Amino acid sequence: MNSASPRVIIHEVGLRDGLQMESQTIPTERKLQWLRRLLETGVDIIQVGSFVHPGKVPQMADTDELFRSLAEGDGIPARVTLSALVLNEKGFARAAECGVKLLCLGVSASETHSMKNTGMPVTEATKRIVAIAREATRSGMSVQVSVQSAFGCGFEGAVPEEQVMRIIRSYLDAGLRTISLADTAGHATPDMVKKRFGDILDLDPQVELACHFHNTYGLGLANVWAAYERGVTTFESSVAGLGGCPFTRVAGGNVSTEDMVHMFRRMNVRRDIRLDPLIDLARDVAGFFGREMPGMVYRVGQIK
């Protein structure tokens, strides 16, 4: 990693984005076991869950309980931040009550996806999310705001770049400087990744950039590396490659955390992340669900 390269922050989202599509109920205690094992890997941020309506996303019904259990226990390293996703004011109130340190909020650039995901058109969702983000910032929370479907939509196809940038400008005008682009439908290509993030940096070179890619069409890691080269610092991924948005047309898994860490380590980036525990956890996840997971490295092992 040369002096011009950005730092890398690993944001593990398997317990939220990874599990939200699963029909099989995962006991809270099993989630806590997986959480504790993730704490041992050296990843920087762990997304515990989302404060959403349990009727829409039943797997997230125990998010409040997970945060309370973690607060009552010990062994959370000071270097690890626990995050959560919220989509509306009720979710924010629950997150604040649970003492969430990093709040993740997002607006879809696709009208169809926005309506399916939040029940709101893009303009209304943007206003409400910006207001929540500002309130969260005033209350002392760290905040990351995202644009979902930033590279395309499974229902609409191409998403106008201006729609993405309109949301970005709303964030920047509100003083929100930690911004993620999410490839909800998995339509991104490396050239699109560099262009979108480059456009944001043209507006504000000091912005903290994050990315969230799905591997629906097999380009997840290629897009991760393109984002890294363009100056993105935070990379969201899911152990074993679990996940996918239940409100898009073709749901594909997230970039696999152990695959991404393996790639970075091979290129002398973030060699401090413990890969073996990640691989062991991915195998445990695969065993729990009784099926092969999308990740590759957990199956073949790492290159020593």
Element (H, E) at 83: strand 81-86
pLDDT at 206: 95
Q: Residue 34 pLDDT > 60, yes or no?
A: yes
List pLDDT tens digits, range 54-77.
888 899 999 999 999 988 766 788
What's at 117, amino acid-wise? N
Q: Residue 3 pLDDT > 60, yes or no?
A: no
245 noted as active-site residue: yes
Catalytic residue among 98, 104, 211, 245: 245
Rounded CA separation 88/118 (Å): 8
Task: Work out the mean pLDDT of the chain and round it to a whole number.
Answer: 92
List pLDDT tens digits, range 291-302.
999 999 999 999
CATH of 9-300 among 1.10.150.130, 2.40.160.10, 3.40.50.10610, 3.20.20.70: 3.20.20.70
Evaluate the CA torsion angle 177, 113, 16, 269 in order and state its sign: negative
Mean pLDDT of 254-271: 96
Mean pLDDT of 92-118: 93
Q: Are 150 and 213 in contact (CB under 8 A)?
A: no
Element (H, E) at 89: helix 89-97
List pLDDT tens digits, range 280-293.
999 999 999 999 99
List pLDDT tens digits, range 134-186.
999 999 999 999 999 999 998 889 999 999 999 999 999 999 999 999 999 99
